[in-house]
């Protein structure tokens, strides 16, 4: 398969299909990070996520990067906020 | 149902339908948070909300996260401000 | 009426119709707030307002939220600045 | 006339027509304010202004809001910078 | 000529035609100012300028507004950066 | 080949084709840098990357520029975040 | 040639044609500056550059403007980041 056909048949967004029903990470503008089960998506990268938790990263007093989680359940993310989607590689993640 | 058909038949925004007439949370840019009854929406994620309250989160002098509420009644939110919509799971929320 | 038909027949912006000729509040980016009589609107949420006053909120030296008003008369607001429109519920508001 | 026909026949931007050849105020992002004679406009709120002066507002050492004017002559403002247009009510303004 | 025909026949951007081959000032976002000979333009307000100099305004140690010039020759400005174009009134400017 | 035909036949984005399956660097807004194997792209510069690592640049206490890497696996980058793509020149890079 | 035909036949972006295969300077948002050989461009001002170096301008401890260069090779710049393109006038530049 040539690079030309490769890129035409497989648009970047199509690669999300293999992650439907799997856990993904979504990095969003304004330093937000979501982890959830991908329920659906569209061409604008609008995302439907289930069992979502928002992850807050912050520096503690010793300068270490720490994480806090907030459970959100099912959310619809507006695509124009997305920086990148980290596809599922392991169900355990 | 394959991932392909799944994502095509159910666009992320379609998942808002099940929350019409129910209480949802909307996270908006510039650190705004709304809670209200979803009256209607469109493809841009413009939202019509009833019984809306805006929730302000702030840190008090002891560093604790605190909330203040402002009752707004019925509002129309312009969709391009929305970061994500937290769908109704419990009417009590 | 099902959620599906509900959301299709009544787009969020259509709810502005019932507020035409009534006093509404408009929250705009960059911390601006307008109160005025809705004269007209379009799908971009461009707004025509009469008897408009701009409301400035600020903290005084004691830390209290204070308001100042500036009378503007008739204005046309470019829709992409709008965060949300607070619909008229009481003429007295 | 019903609200429905009202809003359809008179789009917000159409209200600018009555201000053509009159003095208007234009509030622009990044804290700019223009006063000028409206020579023309289009649907994007691009504006052609004659006899324009840019008004700078600043706080002096006593904390009073002060104004400075800069004469610009004829300018074309790109519409996406506009927050709102204050329509002419008095030629003297 | 009625305001209606006036605004329809003369779009704001059409007023740039009379400044082609003349010296104009362009105010651009992020506090940039260009002075140059207008060679061409399009509906997005993309501009082709010749004999361009970029003007930097800054406050010196006494608080006076000062100007520095940088000669750029011929440039193409992407229209979405433009705040306003100051049309030529005098060749000497 | 004249410049005219050159630019029409080879759009900037077409040059990414030769980098498919190769390691590229992507500079993204908000000071992010990704290195990964280009799996696919589209006209919006949405990118599918495999074996991706995000590279954080920071200044250490002596003022030296330092790098930290985070392995991300496969990601889809939303194109509107991209500043530029550094094409593969050496597989070793 | 009248201004009207002038501006219609020569769009600003068309002036880039004469710089294909020549060294140009590109000023990009977030204070970035690129120097490179223009390989191709499109209507969005997406650019393909070869032999590119990124130029960092900074103030040293004495307050002088200093430059640092980073060689990037071939890059594709997403057009919406471009402020202006400085066309080639001298091959030596």
Q: Per residue, what are the HEC states of chain A?
A: CCHHHHHHHCCHHHHHHHHCCCEEEEEECCCEEEEEEEEEECCCCCEEEEEEEEEEEEECCCCCEEEEEEEEEEEEECHHHEEEEECCCCCCC
Select the CATH number that applies to the domain covering F3-86 from these four: 3.40.50.620, 2.30.30.100, 2.60.120.620, 3.30.300.30.
2.30.30.100
CATH topology classification for G12-86: SH3 type barrels. (2.30.30)
pLDDT score recorded for residue G5: 43
Q: Do G87 and E80 touch (CB under 8 A)?
A: no
Q: Do E87 and D78 touch (CB under 8 A)?
A: no
The chain F residue lying nearest A88, using CA atoms, is F74
Banded model confidence at residue C9, pLDDT cuts 50, 70, 90 = low
The whole-number average pLDDT for the span D86-93 is: 63
Over residues C20-49, the pLDDT tens digits come to 999 999 999 988 999 999 999 999 999 999
pLDDT score recorded for residue B5: 43
Banded model confidence at residue C62, pLDDT cuts 50, 70, 90 = confident
Write down the mean pLDDT value for chain B: 86
Tell me whether 0.90 is exceeded by the ipTM.
no
CB-CB contact of A44 with A16 (8 Å): no
Element (H or E) spanning B40, and its range? Answer: strand B32-41
Q: How far apart are CA C86 and CA C57, in angstroms?
A: 17
Q: Which of D30, G65, G80 is nearest to E31 (CA)?
A: D30
Q: How far apart are CA F54 and CA A84, in angstroms?
A: 11
Chain C residues with CB under 8 Å of a chain B CB are 3-4, 6-7, 10-16, 29, 45, 79-80, 82-87, 89
pLDDT(B87) > 50: yes
Dihedral in degrees, nearest 10, Cα atoms G34, G36, G42, G44: 0
Banded model confidence at residue E92, pLDDT cuts 50, 70, 90 = very low
Structure letter (DSSP) for residue G3: H
Q: How far apart are CA C15 and CA C28, in angstroms?
A: 18
pLDDT score recorded for residue F79: 98
Q: Do E83 and D77 touch (CB under 8 A)?
A: yes
Q: How far apart are CA E88 and CA D75, in angstroms?
A: 9
How far CA E85 is from CA of A13, D21, E43, F53, G23, in Å, comes to 40, 19, 13, 44, 28
Write down the mean pLDDT value for chain E: 86
User: Which subunits count as partners of chain E given 3+ CB pairs below 8 Å?
Assistant: D, G
Over residues G2-55, the pLDDT tens digits come to 444 444 457 999 999 999 999 999 999 988 999 999 999 999 999 999 999 999
pLDDT along chain A (93 residues), means of 10: 49 94 95 95 97 88 86 97 87 40
Q: How far is E56 from chain G (nearest CA, A)?
A: 14
pLDDT score recorded for residue G66: 84
The whole-number average pLDDT for the span D56-69 is: 84
Chain A positions touching B79 (Cβ under 8 A) are 78
In chain G, which ranges are E strands? Answer: 23-28, 32-41, 47-59, 65-77, 82-86
pLDDT score recorded for residue F6: 47
């Amino acid at each position: 398969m040539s690079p030309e056909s490769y890129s035409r048949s497989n648009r970047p967004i199509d690669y999300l299909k293999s992650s439907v029903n799997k856990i993904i990470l979504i990095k969003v503008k304004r330093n937000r990070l979501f982890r959830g089960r991908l329920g659906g998506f569209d061409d604008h990268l609008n995302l439907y996520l289930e069992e979502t938790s928002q992850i807050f990263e912050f520096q503690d007093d010793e300068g270490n990067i720490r994480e806090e989680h907030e459970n959100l359940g099912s959310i619809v993310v507006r695509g124009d906020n997305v920086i990148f989607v980290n596809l599922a590689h392991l169900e355990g993640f």
